[in-house]
């Protein structure tokens, strides 16, 4: 028995030290195969090492979960992840990005030493050059500024919240003891407040809003071309709006509301528990038990919010349905439209029962995988660095064949050419398969990776014994 074991180990070592062929299989120890898209996969030590060579676009090399590299010389693109999410870097053309924890560096053009760049240690230190070639630096909350952040062109501070300022195009805001005192001036815009004592907000000559002792008193005036009027609210007793398009009344706001006119007349009966509206926005809520809402081509329904929900999006090219049963169920289905008619067969399907399995199909290509420990849908860094570690079973299939793997290679099955070519393996016990080479049909099987084996090419046969001895009339392939 021990001799057989030693022979088996020697055979594995011989195969491992030999030149790597396009297809070989040592189970979870090491393997190489070409997938359904002609992409070469090389794996070793179960899910921990993988190398993918597409020969066209993106190549991957990963030592999970510590290091992953994806690159394409054709696209001038490279992505490196180290113990994600701790660190990553990316190159796209002349742009370069690197992140370590909350520190990031972004160079928009590596070939230009004076190009736009960012060096941020969020939330403490910021430095860079913006798109207008203006330099900035900031040590938060002591002193400085940051450009192109949080939707603002420029944010400045001194001993925040003592002094704080923002700029967005021509609109400039300054705050003292933020958010107590603030003043904003720009073309057509004026805002001024001493919170919560008093505040005013003006837009052109068309709108003016004001508060006194917020939230107790608020009033507004509207002078739009097609909608003139005014409103006020004495919180928490009463409020009203009267304009050309809308009339609304609140009693003990925000709990009871009734409105008329406008694109979506609505009423609240003990908000947020009971809500109702009609018009452009159709809504009925008995919160959190049940609710439905329709806005344009989007319909939403929920039960026991936020556990069960359903969303339908009626696009011009497809009808998309999405369902949630938090935290365990997620489904997304897209039905294409042909000449405006919704087809019965979906062209895109995704199902996930967390943490058990997921199923995905795009046209005629499908994937089944379990386990699925990441609760969200496919996420690039998770797919590259972690998902293979907990994937106990996977199956990829299309119209021409399939690839199946269990326990990182303890069982493998490859089917090609609609079943004409097959390979199956239960490592290390047995493997078998068939294929066609130069119009010649070939069948093979082996026990313990060659302790016993058989191969038939057309009318010729060959037997293998003890990994070394071969009997029969099949000549060795020159490959």
Is the pLDDT reported for residue 15 higher than 50?
no
Is the pLDDT reported for residue 185 higher than 60?
yes
Is the pLDDT reported for residue 3 higher than 70?
no
Tokens of 347: 């062209």
Mean pLDDT, residues 419-426: 92
> What confidence tier does 10 reach under pLDDT thresholds 50, 70, 90?
very low
> What confidence tier does 141 reach under pLDDT thresholds 50, 70, 90?
very high
pLDDT top residue among 478 and 105: 105
Q: In this predicted model, what pLDDT tens digit does every residue of 73-105 receive, in sequence order?
A: 777 899 999 999 999 999 998 999 999 999 999
Whether 351 maps to a domain, the answer reads: yes
Is the pLDDT reported for residue 335 higher than 60?
yes
Whether 317 maps to a domain, the answer reads: yes
Of all residues in the chain, the percent with pLDDT exceeding 90 is: 73
pLDDT top residue among 257 and 82: 82
**Among 138, 170, 139, 140, residue whose Cα is nearest residue 153:** 170
The predicted pLDDT at position 122 comes to: 94
The predicted pLDDT at position 8 comes to: 45
Whether 137 maps to a domain, the answer reads: no
Mean pLDDT, residues 433-459: 89
> What confidence tier does 475 reach under pLDDT thresholds 50, 70, 90?
low
* Residues contacting residue 342 through CB under 8 Å, at least 6 positions apart: 319, 335, 336
Whether 112 maps to a domain, the answer reads: no
> What confidence tier does 388 reach under pLDDT thresholds 50, 70, 90?
very high
> What confidence tier does 13 reach under pLDDT thresholds 50, 70, 90?
very low
Whether 260 maps to a domain, the answer reads: no
Is the pLDDT reported for residue 293 higher than 60?
yes
The predicted pLDDT at position 479 comes to: 37
Judged on CB neighbours under 10 Å (0-12, 13-18, 19+), 152 is middle
Q: Which of 21-25, 105-109, 190-194, 399-403 bottoms out in mean pLDDT, i.e. has the lowest?
A: 21-25
> What confidence tier does 118 reach under pLDDT thresholds 50, 70, 90?
very high
What does residue 184 show for φ and ψ, rounded to 5 degrees? -125, 130
Q: How many Å from the N-terminal Cα to the C-terminal Cα in the chain?
A: 33
- Are 65 and 386 spatial neighbours (Cβ–Cβ below 8 Å)? yes
DSSP 62-119: EETTTEEEEEETTTTEEEEEETTTTEEEEEETTEEEEEETTEEEEES-TT-TTS-EEE
pTM attached to this predicted model: 0.82
Strands 171-176 and 238-243: unpaired
- Are 110 and 97 spatial neighbours (Cβ–Cβ below 8 Å)? no
The predicted pLDDT at position 225 comes to: 87
- Are 62 and 385 spatial neighbours (Cβ–Cβ below 8 Å)? yes
Is the pLDDT reported for residue 439 higher than 60?
yes
CA of 282: how far to CAs of 41, 266, 288, 297, 298, in Å? 52, 9, 17, 11, 11
CA of 416: how far to CAs of 20, 53, 439, 454, in Å? 22, 19, 15, 21
The predicted pLDDT at position 133 comes to: 93
Mean pLDDT, residues 255-275: 80
Whether 350 maps to a domain, the answer reads: yes
E strand or H helix at 384: helix 380-385
The predicted pLDDT at position 474 comes to: 58
Whether 208 maps to a domain, the answer reads: no
What is the average pLDDT score of the chain?
Answer: 90
DSSP 180-208: TEEEEEETTEEEEEETTTEEEEEETTTEE
**Among 394, 399, 338, residue whose Cα is nearest residue 370:** 394
Mean pLDDT, residues 2-19: 45
The predicted pLDDT at position 272 comes to: 86
The predicted pLDDT at position 470 comes to: 86
Whether 77 maps to a domain, the answer reads: no
Q: Which of 53-62, 198-207, 280-289, 329-338 bottoms out in mean pLDDT, i.e. has the lowest?
A: 53-62
> What confidence tier does 6 reach under pLDDT thresholds 50, 70, 90?
very low
The predicted pLDDT at position 259 comes to: 84
- Are 155 and 148 spatial neighbours (Cβ–Cβ below 8 Å)? no
Neighbours of 388 (CB within 10 A): 19
The tally of domains found in the chain comes to: 1
Residues forming a β-bridge with 10: none
- Are 26 and 427 spatial neighbours (Cβ–Cβ below 8 Å)? yes
Domain with 310, as residue range(s), is 295-390
> What confidence tier does 263 reach under pLDDT thresholds 50, 70, 90?
low
Q: How far apart are CA 462 and CA 457, in angstroms?
A: 9
């Amino acid at each position: 028995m021990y001799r057989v074991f030693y022979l088996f180990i020697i055979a594995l070592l011989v195969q491992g030290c030999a030149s790597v062929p396009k297809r070989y299989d040592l189970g979870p120890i090491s393997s190489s195969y070409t997938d359904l898209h002609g992409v070469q996969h090389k794996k070793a030590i179960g899910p921990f090492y993988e190398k993918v060579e597409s020969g066209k676009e993106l190549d991957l090399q990963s030592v999970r979960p510590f290091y992953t590299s994806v690159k394409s010389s054709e696209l001038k693109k490279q992505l490196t992840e180290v113990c994600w999410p701790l660190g990553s870097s990316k190159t796209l053309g002349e742009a370069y990005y690197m992140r370590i924890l909350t520190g990031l560096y972004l160079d928009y053009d590596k070939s230009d030493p004076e190009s736009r760049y960012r060096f941020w240690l969020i939330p403490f230190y910021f430095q860079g050059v913006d798109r207008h070639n203006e330099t900035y630096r900031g040590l938060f909350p002591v002193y400085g500024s940051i450009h192109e952040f949080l939707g603002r062109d420029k944010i400045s501070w001194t001993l925040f919240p003592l002094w704080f300022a923002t700029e967005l195009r021509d609109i400039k805001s300054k705050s003292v003891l933020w958010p107590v005192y603030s003043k904003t001036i720009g073309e057509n815009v004026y805002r001024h407040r001493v919170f919560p004592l008093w505040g005013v907000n003006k837009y052109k000559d068309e709108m003016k809003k004001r508060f006194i002792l917020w939230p107790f008193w608020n009033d507004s005036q509207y002078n739009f071309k097609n909608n003139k009027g005014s409103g006020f609210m004495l919180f928490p007793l009463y409020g009203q709006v009267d304009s050309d398009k809308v009339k609304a009344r609140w009693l003990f706001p925000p709990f009871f509301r009734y409105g008329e006119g406008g694109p979506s007349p609505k009423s609240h009966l003990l908000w947020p528990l009971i809500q109702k509206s009609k018009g452009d926005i159709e809504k009925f809520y008995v919160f959190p038990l049940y609710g439905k809402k329709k806005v344009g081509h989007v319909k939403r329904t929920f039960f026991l919010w936020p556990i069960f929900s359903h969303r339908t999006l009626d696009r011009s090219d497809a009808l998309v349905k999405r369902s949630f049963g938090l935290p365990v169920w997620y489904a997304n289905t897209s039905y294409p439209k042909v000449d405006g008619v919704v087809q019965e067969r979906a062209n895109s399907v995704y199902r996930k029962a967390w943490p058990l399995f997921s199923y995905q199909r795009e046209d005629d290509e499908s994937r089944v995988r379990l386990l699925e420990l990441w609760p969200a849908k496919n996420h690039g860094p998770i797919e590259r660095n972690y998902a293979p570690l907990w994937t106990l079973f996977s199956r990829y299939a299309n119209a021409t064949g399939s690839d199946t793997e269990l326990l990182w290679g303890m069982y493998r099955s490859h089917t090609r050419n609609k079943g004409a070519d097959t390979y199956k393996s239960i490592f290390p016990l047995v493997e078998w398969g068939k294929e066609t080479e130069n119009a010649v049909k070939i069948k093979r099987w082996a026990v313990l990776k060659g302790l016993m084996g058989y191969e038939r090419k057309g009318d010729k046969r060959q037997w293998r014994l003890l990994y070394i001895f071969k009997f029969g009339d099949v000549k060795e392939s020159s490959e």
